[in-house]
Amino acid sequence: AQSVTQPDIHITVSEGASLELRCNYSYGATPYLFWYVQSPGQGLQLLLKYFSGDTLVQGIKGFEAEFKRSQSSFNLRKPSVHWSDAAEYFCAVEPYGQNFVFGPGTRLSVLP
């Protein structure tokens, strides 16, 4: 079945530590790939997106993501987490000719 999975429901990291949030998709062809962030009670803000080309994508707020076709993954990374990064993170895909599909989200907590 076609799907987007984010295996980690909740991750806690210490401020200054590195971060990796996982995203896997299951579609026949590589869809367009996105990461969004949502602060409590707010809408979603785009962090970065991958359409084609370089598989390492840079985004806002120091985030980057790497597309790995062989693993059907699009993991989000940040070398040093700040307390303000605490939020919910959603991976999303846009299969060709279809609408966006969002993963269930990963909630990030940051310890001081």
Partner 1 sequence: DTGVSQDPRHKITKRGQNVTFRCDPISEHNRLYWYRQTLGQGPEFLTYFQNEAQLEKSRLLSDRFSAERPKGSFSTLEIQRTEQGDSAMYLCASSPNQGTGNTIYFGEGSWLTVV
| Encoded tokens for 56 | 């390492």
User: Is 97 an interacting residue with respect to partner 1 (CB under 8 A)?
Assistant: yes
Dist. CA 45–CA 84, nearest whole Å: 14
Of 9, 24, 36, the residue nearest 107 (C-alpha)? 9
Rounded CA-CA distance 109/15 in Å is 9
Asked if 77 touches partner 1 (CB under 8 A), the answer is no
The verdict on 40 binding partner 1 (CB under 8 A) reads no
Distances (CA, A) of 83 to 17, 43, 46: 11, 19, 19
- Is 3 a binding residue for partner 1 by CB under 8 A? The answer is no
Retrieve residue 104's tokens: 């269930």
Of 18-26, 38-46, 59-67, 78-86: span binding partner 1 (CB under 8 A):
38-46
Q: Considering the rule CB under 8 A, would residue 94 count as an interface residue with partner 1?
A: yes
| Tokens standing for residue 8 | 């980690």
Region near partner 1 per CB under 8 A, out of 16-24, 42-50, 62-70, 77-85: 42-50
Binding residue for partner 1, selected from 15, 22, 62, 104, defined by CB under 8 A: 104
* Residues lying near partner 1 in the complex (CB under 8 A): 32, 34, 36, 41-46, 49, 51, 90, 92, 94, 96-97, 99-105
